[in-house]
Structure 1
Amino acid sequence: MKPLEGIKVVELTTYFAAPACGRMLADWGAEVIKVEGPKGDPYRTAYRGQRTPQFEEGCPSFDLENSNKSFVCLDTKTEGGREAVLKLISQCDVFLTNNRLSALKKMGLTYEEVHARYPKVVYAEVLGYGAKGPLKDRPGYDYTAFFSRSGLMADLSSKGGNVMNTVAGFGDHVTAITLASGICAALLKAQRTGEGDRVSVALYQAAIFILSNGLLCAEYGREYPRTHFDCNSPLLTCYRCKDDEWIYLSMPEYDKMWPRICRDIFERPDLAEDPRFYCIAETNKRIGEAVAVCDEIFAEHDSAYWIEKMEANDIAHEKLAHFTDVLKDEQAWANGFLQEYTYPRGEKTVFSSTPVTFESIGELPFKHAGRVGENTRNILRAAGYAEEDIEALIVSGAAK
């Protein structure tokens, strides 16, 4: 039995964060019904800036966030469509949305309204900037609320250079993971008490938490953004090798590891005893100088040379991989972190798996997203609608 088997989720969502949360719940065994309007989730077409394809039977960018769900098309601008959504919510355990409050009010789907009608339902929502404060009604996206306002883009980019180019969905997926964990806690509460809860995660909130160490350091005077030469330690940073690949060192115990890396890796025992660098207290006075020395050493050989030496000496390190490297990484495939899916007409795509492994699930399922309204009749039938009532909804335009 899968962990969330028997749990029903109704999601009224678009784009990334909330749909990705729905995908996680579906992977864990929940029945997830995605409600879309007549035009569908805008991300069905907005993905095109990412240069990913559109197959006849699916779209990899959309499927990444919406696999393993069922799809019903209801026009919430109509009375019949709104009533159908409420009927579905009345039979679910979780209602998941990222719609703005103004839209939810028009649909009669605010937390207060849903909780009053169906107090056991867990109400889960993705917000941009939070439910309170001057920005509570501002539209929030991964690029703006997560990357931009949190300090991530400005302060984690290299000082004096351009800000980083982001990747779509980074902050959304962090938010999705966070919300999924909150939903599970709320489901446990509902099971114990008979009452659901309101579970909210804001993109800005998630960013502040994952950057909490940077914020703490800034509070106490650490300056950001930084250059390559202004790191926490010359053994906690990355170096460019002769072949232009980079290697990241991760040795927090500087005083213990500096002599070892000087002797066994650099083959420079003189540096181990150099009074400028022999302990972190002295090195902190001249971090840039220490980094420059290491830069010169790493530039003498290709990355393969350094990796071989560090692996032989059990030194914590990692080569900076490219996305194309990850797609072929034996470690990722061995653990099921990646999975290949074959579409009905034979197109193959590699997808990342949702990031939790359950013994009870084994290999995670993957089924590409259906078309807008692909399961409308079956979903309404299961909800208790008679065939003539379903037909009337479709004819009226309330359903599709």
Structure 2
Amino acid sequence: MLFKGLKVIDCGSFIAAPVAATMLGDFGADVIKVEPPGVGDPYRATYKAPGMPVSDQPYNWLLDNRGKRSLALDLRQPEGQEVLHRLAAGADVFITNYPLAVRRKLGLDAARIRALNPRLIYASFTGYGETGAEVNKPGFDLTAYWARSGLMATVRTDAKTPPARGVTGMGDHPSGTSLFAAILLGLLQRERTGQGTQVGSSLLANGMWSNGVMAQAALCGGRYVPRPPRDQLPNALVGYYRCGDDRWFVLVSSNEERDWPLMARCLGQPELVDDPRFATQAGRYAHSRELIAIFDAAFASRDRDEWRRRLDEAGIVFECIAELADIPHDAQMREAGVVVPFEDDGQPTIASPMYVEGAPKRPPRKPAALGQHNEELLREAGYDDAAIARLRAARVVA
């Protein structure tokens, strides 16, 4: 395993910071998940929130905290902070996304933790960055990533519809991948210098990076062209269409001169190629509403599976717009290693989205129960039976 022997402390909550630790664990790191006693990380129960998919399994926790050892530790008590400090002194990476003021209160701010271990990589994740007037503003995926970056306004179906709302984790997961990359850079620097460092990222930075093309246009003084309704798109060969079974797919023509005759034949209307309105690209753009209406009528005449077969045979770039119920039956997901089984019971889960040739990932293991590894982690930190009993009696560990 690439990171075998690497000790990581995940002292974060919810998604973006903890998933960086999860990815390190996928490649063999020993990840210690530090949670408050009682209910633990509130993210454990998020799957029960109104509007979330209904399930008797904590699917969010299965995905984002697999393979970690759990330590239920009360960091409000000085003895709890001492336990964390002992662990940090022997760790390679310390990850947190607690608010900066909370870090200082709980004794896990960068200055305090880094002083314990000169080789430690301190990975900090925030909502709005660590400088500026808004450093203490609470930030979530929906606010700092989606709303502040302009994504909510940009990806709406058209300019007259309400802003689009992302789903749980849609900004957190790519943001966690950025933090994972920052940690790797920190480890590379440590390898070269022998010294640890602080690395980090934020939801604000990742939201802007995700919306980078449009945001850069704004920074260059570009004039934003409001997104038109679907049936008024400027190019019929780059759009999405409803089939006869009410399923959708999206077309993306990267070589329109090649694709246009193929599309006309695929629709069973080869005469469209010589239609004066559509014979040239300029003509197709000028008459895009008429062409979209023709496409709509044609695609509505057959089910999506039939169109999938026809478009595949024609060599046209497209993709079916999957619904969540389609995912468990998608063979390519498994064959490409995107969906993999848990080692414990074979239940499928989602792999982290990168690989290294010659460095296989550790098979995913189900997450630990809250505080499942308290005793063994305390022993690793140097506590004997009597000290562990005192910590339990004081409710420092659950």
TM-score where L is the length of structure 2: 0.90
With over 3 angstroms needed to count, the CA separation of the structure-2 counterparts of 1:165 and 1:190, relative to structure 1, is: same
**Alignment partners' CA distance in 1, 2:31 and 2:127:** 23
**Residues 98-107 or 352-361, more deviating:** 352-361
| Letter paired with 2:304 | S
Three-state SS of the structure 2 residue aligned to 1:10 is: strand
Three-state SS of the structure 1 residue aligned to 2:88 is: helix
Unmatched tracts of structure 1, length 5 or more: none
What's the CA shift for 1:298?
Answer: 1.9
Three-state SS of the structure 1 residue aligned to 2:31 is: strand
Structure 2 counterpart of 1:236: 238
Structure 2 counterpart of 1:391: 389
**Residues 317-326 or 143-152, more deviating:** 143-152
Structure 2 counterpart of 1:318: 319
CA offsets, 1:22-41, max 9 Å, x none?
A: 11111111000011122311
Structure 2 counterpart of 1:200: 200
Q: Say how many residue pairs are matched.
A: 392
Confirm or deny: 8 A CA contact 1:157 1:163 kept in the other structure: yes
What's the CA shift for 1:152?
Answer: 2.2
Structure 1 counterpart of 2:329: 328
| Letter paired with 1:6 | G
Three-state SS of the structure 2 residue aligned to 1:223 is: coil
Structure 2 counterpart of 1:128: 127
**Residues 148-157 or 88-97, more deviating:** 148-157
| Letter paired with 2:7 | K
**Residues 105-114 or 187-196, more deviating:** 105-114
Structure 2 counterpart of 1:257: 259
**Alignment partners' CA distance in 1, 2:48 and 2:6:** 33
With over 3 angstroms needed to count, the CA separation of the structure-2 counterparts of 1:302 and 1:30, relative to structure 1, is: same
**Alignment partners' CA distance in 2, 1:114 and 1:231:** 54
Matched, 1:382 2:380: yes
Structure 1 counterpart of 2:10: 11
Structure 2 counterpart of 1:180: 180
**Alignment partners' CA distance in 2, 1:28 and 1:301:** 45
CA offsets, 1:156-185, max 9 Å, x none?
A: 122233444532111111111111111112
Identity %: 30
With over 3 angstroms needed to count, the CA separation of the structure-2 counterparts of 1:216 and 1:231, relative to structure 1, is: farther
Structure 1 counterpart of 2:310: 309
Structure 1 counterpart of 2:117: 118
CA offsets, 1:122-174, max 9 Å, x none?
A: 11122112222332211111121122222222321222334445321111111
CA offsets, 1:170-213, max 9 Å, x none?
A: 11111111111111121111111112222212112112112222
Matched, 1:215 2:215: yes
**Alignment partners' CA distance in 1, 2:149 and 2:77:** 39
CA offsets, 1:92-124, max 9 Å, x none?
A: 110000100010111232223333342321111
How large is the RMSD of aligned CA atoms in angstroms?
2.3
With over 3 angstroms needed to count, the CA separation of the structure-2 counterparts of 1:183 and 1:33, relative to structure 1, is: same
Unmatched tracts of structure 2, length 5 or more: none
**Alignment partners' CA distance in 2, 1:94 and 1:362:** 21
**Alignment partners' CA distance in 2, 1:100 and 1:286:** 54
Confirm or deny: 8 A CA contact 1:16 1:169 kept in the other structure: yes
**Alignment partners' CA distance in 2, 1:190 and 1:309:** 54
**Residues 276-285 or 143-152, more deviating:** 276-285
With over 3 angstroms needed to count, the CA separation of the structure-2 counterparts of 1:231 and 1:174, relative to structure 1, is: farther
With over 3 angstroms needed to count, the CA separation of the structure-2 counterparts of 1:331 and 1:171, relative to structure 1, is: same
What's the CA shift for 1:293?
Answer: 3.1
| Letter paired with 1:253 | N
